[in-house]
């Protein structure tokens, strides 16, 4: 299993941070029940003792990733529904994990969004 920054890097075969692909031989992929900081997190434990944490956008996507990775570990082909718009089977899309979750709401005004953005990205408050 290889990791890429984006689709362009995957197309060029340039791994993320020059990491070599991870061997899935004797690996285990499961829900990270002990991880409480974020939701929809699963882990991949590989045979050399390393663990990788991944975050999906929801439980459905997380379960799809787990079943797909587990299928790759065992050599089986898991069932993937074409209705899923973000599936591991779409390798050409080169998903970046953990998935960033956009939290914008339809009822928020542009002014409010600017203030929220200012709060998130500003270390010091603006002088008035």
Q: CATH classification of 7-100 is 2.30.29.30, yes or no?
A: yes
Residue 65: per-residue pLDDT: 95
Task: Give one DSSP letter per residue of 30-97, joined into a string.
Answer: EE-TT--SSSSEEEEE-TTS-EEEEE-SSHHHHHHHHHHHHHHHHT------TT-SS-TT-GGG---S
> Residue 86 has what pLDDT?
44
Q: Where are the domains of the chain?
A: 7-100
pLDDT of amino acid 9: 92
Tens of pLDDT, residue by residue, the chain (128 residues): 998 999 999 999 999 998 889 899 999 999 999 999 999 999 999 999 999 999 999 999 999 999 999 999 988 654 444 444 444 444 444 455 544 433 333 444 455 555 555 555 555 555 65
Structure tokens at 1: 């299993």
């Amino acid at each position: 299993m290889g990791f890429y920054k984006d689709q362009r890097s995957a197309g060029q075969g340039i791994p993320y941070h020059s990491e070599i692909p991870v061997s899935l031989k004797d690996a285990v992929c499961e829900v990270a029940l002990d991880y409480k900081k974020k939701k929809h997190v699963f882990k991949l434990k590989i045979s050399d003792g390393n663990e990788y944490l991944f975050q999906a956008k929801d439980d459905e996507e997380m379960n799809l990733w787990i079943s797909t990775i587990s299928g790759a570990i065992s050599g089986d082909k898991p069932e993937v529904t074409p209705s899923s718009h973000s599936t591991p089977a779409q390798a050409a899309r080169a998903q970046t994990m953990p998935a960033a979750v956009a939290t914008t709401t339809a009822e928020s005004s542009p002014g409010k969004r600017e203030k929220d953005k200012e709060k998130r990205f500003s270390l010091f408050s603006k002088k008035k």
